Structure 1
């Protein structure tokens, strides 16, 4: 294994398992001359030439479909994601926010971590009563000396401030932003009814949609047990190679910095 310079945030490539190619599976559905549907149903990852899973969503994927949607009057966004790279997520958020179409966002299963930010790029946000929104502080795997780690902590504070601003812009009247900051510090999972108490989100009828299957859900501290139970195990799954490999794969999936 090649050495990684301390405190560098860069992809780590391993030859133990071959990742899947970037097949651009994200597609525009129900496209008409006035509207279209966009599905974000996987982990949010940075742009690369490959993906750990074909359901992963990169900024380039979203850019590709938005180019197909140019000039539409409305876009329906369907989100079922455990989160992922904070920088990739912010890029996707800004691209969606800039799009001139009227946007409806639907949190179908979970909008966790960085995926809790994406719905707020829309003009109107809907969540079924049995779906989940999860917010928490950004976190990172890091190496280095004391100066490096202090710099990393300062960077995380700056990133958190930007995310807090997005939440603040979408708060229910009367909700204090300090309440949201504490909820982020505690890693808070909100079902549809609870999310609507804090954010400008409309609760809709419950739907039977399975939460996005992802190893990330197992690494959050307070993931609702029923979400972990709903994960489907892939057939003929290769046993874990080693604890070290698992950590490296996890770092790469999140590009070392995730919300």
Structure 2
């Protein structure tokens, strides 16, 4: 069994270096693609603890997992929110009794006149439809029910997620979902962002243009202290760019 982490912010390929530089966990499609290629068809377990992130990056990860030639098992170990919850729909899903799933609408920021606003509304609605498809395919729920969950920004415990069919099993338990029974009960009874928190895109752009004067610790007399001082200065500059300090 090969274990692959989906932890921290879900980011577009090429942005991982910034998060890694500051010790912030992040996962990109390219990282998952490399890991799956390395697994070479062997069974993989995807361990999720993520608040979400970039919609298109998350959808790419979902597609990579769905098209993988081997068996894919998803394990939700903690938070599985936003686009991370879409990734969780890509395989047989187990959830820790200590975990939570959060489902909500796609969001973005925009500016302009009323035409720009109306255009953004239409684009967001289509993005929501895209996201909803993952929940519908996994559970068999109606599009209307998926939209209701997203509109409410729904937080689900393991038991609640199991009842809806979003997960197949609660970890450390023998309880498994009977999807046919759940469907029967339901029939008889009645740049986008999809994330909890992330580094702002404008900040990312500013930081990419910022070039701190950091001397490589090996090149400059192997001075680790100097490297750490310069790294802390870079962190301070990042805070200034973010507006956290004056």
Bucket of the pairwise TM-score, normalised by the shorter protein: 0.5 to 0.7
Unaligned stretches of 5+ residues in structure 1? 1-34, 207-213, 218-235, 248-259
TM-score, normalised via structure 2 length: 0.67
Residues 116, 246 of structure 1: alpha-carbon distance in 2 compared, 3 angstrom cutoff: farther
Q: How does 1:10-89 map to 2 (within 5 A)?
A: 35-48=1-14, 50-54=16-20, 55-72=25-42, 74-89=43-58
Residues 194, 239 of structure 1: alpha-carbon distance in 2 compared, 3 angstrom cutoff: farther
In the alignment, which residue of structure 1 is the partner of 2:128?
A: 160
Work out which structure has the larger RCO, using CA pairs closer than 8 Å and 6 or more positions apart in sequence. 1
In the alignment, which residue of structure 2 is the partner of 1:245?
A: 242
Report how many aligned residue pairs link the two structures: 184
Give the deviation of 1:245 after TM superposition.
Answer: 2.6
Give the deviation of 1:110 after TM superposition.
Answer: 1.0
Q: Is the 8 A contact 2:16 2:28 kept in 1?
A: no
In the alignment, which residue of structure 1 is the partner of 2:111?
A: 143
Residues 241, 103 of structure 1: alpha-carbon distance in 2 compared, 3 angstrom cutoff: closer
Pair 1:184 & 2:150 matched: yes
1:100 aligned to which of 60, 63, 69: 69
Give the deviation of 1:241 after TM superposition.
Answer: 4.2
Secondary structure of the 2:19 match is: coil
Deviations 1:76-128 (A, max 9, x none): 11000000000000011101110011111000001100000111111x10001
Of Structure 1 and Structure 2, the greater helix share is in 2
TM-score, normalised via structure 1 length: 0.64
Give the deviation of 1:60 after TM superposition.
Answer: 1.0
Structure 1 distance, partners of 2:9, 2:61, is 12
Give the deviation of 1:50 after TM superposition.
Answer: 4.8
* Root-mean-square deviation over aligned CA pairs: 2.7
Give the deviation of 1:184 after TM superposition.
Answer: 0.8
Secondary structure of the 2:27 match is: coil
2:94 aligned to which of 106, 122, 126: 126
Structure 1 distance, partners of 2:87, 2:46, is 9
Unaligned stretches of 5+ residues in structure 2? 174-194, 199-231
Larger radius of gyration: 2
Structure 1 distance, partners of 2:62, 2:9, is 14
Structure 2 distance, partners of 1:49, 1:169, is 30
